[in-house]
Structure 1
Amino acid sequence: MFLSVVIPTYNRKPILEKCLRAMERQTFADYEIVVVDDGSTDGTVEWLQSHAAEFPHVRLFCQNHGGAAGARNYGVEQAKGDTIVFIDSDLVVTDVFLQSHVETLIQGQKELGHDRLFTYGRVINTANFDDPTSEPYKLTDFSAAYFATGNVAIARHWLIEAGLFDTGFKQYGWEDLELGVRLKNLRLKLIKCPEAVGYHWHPAFSLDQIPRLIDVEFQRGRMGVVFYQKHPTFDVKMMIQMTWIHRVLWGVLSIGGLLNEKTLTPVMRSLIQQGKPQLAEQVARIFLNWYNVKAVYAAYAQSQK
């Protein structure tokens, strides 16, 4: 088994350095790292080119900025491996990361008698840039996703058969879960691989992130409708929050939008000052989810005109 680790990246140079250094320390030997730069403007390409000797497993490819879906497709097309491992460029993994995926894939194939499966590792969120792998697993790190590209390994031919990622997802969100629906239709089995741990770094929550987070929710809402138009099922409706349940839930919790980024700022600021940015971020989810639900319904109404 030869692995191709496909990593799309866009303006993530500081954390990408940690990501690649961790990937170079793997106990498993038979792999390459396919980095696809999606038009970065922060010196990522120049840094990789000047430090090529430090990253013998890395093969660098570049494209104009077009989004993660196209970057991952490009990486799969250029990959030499029979097995693809997807991670994000802000993920720092342990030394046994690839070995864990390989062992679980082999065991799964033995038990099932075929390779109609993929492995899904554990992702732990952290704001600790200096030592990301010191973060413990938390309840909020749990994911019920069937296929998510933050930490997954799959035979390359299944991706080709499924049709790769849909590049129609031009904005944030859902392109990996949409591919997951097509993989599920091919009857691929998800096998959890908690030993393959990746630490997903993002800066600690702060008030100046709020405008970008709101924009992300509106993008996610619009792309959610694209997802639903491709797969008009109740399961997808639940995923994208386009049900009366979500409308009532977040409408009530936000008091119809009265609890928003303005009215909740004093609470969030106080929590941040107390050293509780994660709790402040959970408070922000009240209005962020309400904005997402509104965006979904607005985009769906627009699509019906």
Structure 2
Amino acid sequence: MKISVLVPTYRRPQELGRCLKALKHQTRPADEIVVVIRDIDLETWSFFEKFDAAPLSLQLLNITLSGQVAALNAGLAKVGGDIIAITDDDAVPRPHWLEQIEAHFAEDAQVGGVGGRDWVYAGERLEDGIKDLVGCIQWFGRVVGNHHLGAGEPREVDLLKGANMSYRRAAIANLRFDERLRGTGAQVYNDMAFSVAVKRAGWKLIYDPKVEVDHKAAERFDEDGRNQYSDIATINLVHNETLVLLEYLSFVQRYFFLIWAIVIGTRPAPGF
């Protein structure tokens, strides 16, 4: 199988350099790597003037539209692999990342997506711990991520995380990231929307904690500043999550989800 790696980036050349360096040291090398860059991102274009890409089969894709959805869709139209592995520019894949991913797709033809643990760092501090429940959408619509804390054996899940997810081309042949999602940068929950669409089509999604990347979450250059509150970012988050869940859940589940969201809600979007 041919493996393509897709990396959208925006104004984070130092972090991107770490990501690409890690891709140079994969035990199973990528057959191609496509980095999607905004036309106005002069910092990243300057970085590549001096970057030694060897031995990577590296392609740079220039886009004019803002937002991660546009970058990912442009990348999907460009890559040619049987497996498309997606990671963030501030993630550092561990050496066996692609080898572990390929093994899952080779083992079971019904596997449409594979993800794994992203070891999240807050500065230099590792957010360590163990959670059994990972990548789950509960019956009433509550989303449980925990991809950065999962341990144990590989298992089927409901959704994958954008920093560490991969797909079989046959499973996403006619699928694109949802352009209805709000935001000018990260466009949160675009990974959930994409992965649950694969699951709805009948494919398996596998989470394997041994499919690992180190994720040193970097600054975002949009309304979602990670560490500071933003009304716009919260509105975008609630809109995107609600849009995805109302399409994923059954009619009865939608009813309970709306009650739960309005009455109880979540920490970033509390109910009454």
TM interval, shorter chain, is: 0.7 to 0.9
Q: Return the offset for 1:138.
A: 4.7
1:222 equivalent in alignment to 2:239: yes
* Between 87-96 and 57-66, the greater mean CA deviation after superposition: 57-66
CA distances 1:102-136 after superposition (whole Å, capped 9, x unpaired): 122222x2xxxx3443211112211245xx8x764
* Between 193-202 and 114-123, the greater mean CA deviation after superposition: 114-123
Whether the aligned pair in 2 keeps the contact of 1:146 and 1:180 (CA below 8 Å) is: yes
Whether the aligned pair in 2 keeps the contact of 1:8 and 1:68 (CA below 8 Å) is: yes
Q: Which amino acid aligns with 1:117?
A: G
Whether the aligned pair in 2 keeps the contact of 1:91 and 1:200 (CA below 8 Å) is: yes
Q: Return the offset for 1:19.
A: 1.3
Between the aligned partners of 1:135 and 1:48, the Cα distance in structure 2 is: 32
Q: Return the offset for 1:236.
A: 8.0
In structure 2, the CA distance between the partners of 1:53 and 1:179, relative to structure 1 (3 Å rule), is closer
> Out of 162, 170, 175, which is 1:149 matched to?
162
Q: Return the offset for 1:233.
A: 3.9
Which structure: greater helix fraction? 1
Equivalent positions of 1:41-60 (< 5 A) are 41=41, 43-53=43-53, 56-60=56-60
In structure 2, the CA distance between the partners of 1:69 and 1:203, relative to structure 1 (3 Å rule), is closer
Who is 2:104 aligned against? Answer: 104
Q: TM-score, normalised by structure 2?
A: 0.75
> Out of 196, 208, 211, which is 2:229 matched to?
211
In structure 2, the CA distance between the partners of 1:19 and 1:87, relative to structure 1 (3 Å rule), is same
In structure 2, the CA distance between the partners of 1:53 and 1:62, relative to structure 1 (3 Å rule), is same
Unaligned runs of 5+ in 1: 251-284, 295-305
May I ask how many residue pairs the two structures share in their alignment? 243
SS at match of 1:46: helix
CA distances 1:242-288 after superposition (whole Å, capped 9, x unpaired): 533344435xxxxxxxxxxxxxxxxxxxxxxxxxxxxxxxxxx84x3
Q: What is the identity percentage for the equivalent residue pairs of Structure 1 and Structure 2?
A: 21
Between the aligned partners of 2:121 and 2:89, the Cα distance in structure 1 is: 14
> Out of 87, 97, 116, which is 1:121 matched to?
116
Between the aligned partners of 1:11 and 1:81, the Cα distance in structure 2 is: 26
Between the aligned partners of 1:235 and 1:42, the Cα distance in structure 2 is: 49
Whether the aligned pair in 2 keeps the contact of 1:6 and 1:84 (CA below 8 Å) is: yes
Who is 1:257 aligned against? Answer: none
In structure 2, the CA distance between the partners of 1:232 and 1:95, relative to structure 1 (3 Å rule), is closer
CA distances 1:180-223 after superposition (whole Å, capped 9, x unpaired): 2321222101222221111221269xx993234x5422211122
Unaligned runs of 5+ in 2: 132-145, 151-156, 220-224
Who is 1:189 aligned against? Answer: 204
Who is 1:289 aligned against? Answer: 269
Between the aligned partners of 1:40 and 1:201, the Cα distance in structure 2 is: 24
Between the aligned partners of 1:69 and 1:246, the Cα distance in structure 2 is: 26
In structure 2, the CA distance between the partners of 1:198 and 1:40, relative to structure 1 (3 Å rule), is farther
SS at match of 1:216: helix
Between the aligned partners of 1:181 and 1:208, the Cα distance in structure 2 is: 24
Between the aligned partners of 2:78 and 2:226, the Cα distance in structure 1 is: 38
Who is 2:172 aligned against? Answer: 159
Who is 1:69 aligned against? Answer: 69
In structure 2, the CA distance between the partners of 1:242 and 1:145, relative to structure 1 (3 Å rule), is same
Whether the aligned pair in 2 keeps the contact of 1:124 and 1:138 (CA below 8 Å) is: no
In structure 2, the CA distance between the partners of 1:236 and 1:74, relative to structure 1 (3 Å rule), is farther
Q: Return the offset for 1:80.
A: 2.3
In structure 2, the CA distance between the partners of 1:2 and 1:194, relative to structure 1 (3 Å rule), is same
In structure 2, the CA distance between the partners of 1:247 and 1:190, relative to structure 1 (3 Å rule), is same
Q: Return the offset for 1:14.
A: 2.2
Pick the structure with greater CA Rg.
1
Which structure: greater strand fraction? 2
Who is 1:245 aligned against? Answer: 260
Q: TM-score, normalised by structure 1?
A: 0.68
Q: Return the offset for 1:235.
A: 9.0
Who is 1:299 aligned against? Answer: none
Q: CA RMSD in A?
A: 3.2
Whether the aligned pair in 2 keeps the contact of 1:124 and 1:137 (CA below 8 Å) is: no
SS at match of 2:227: helix
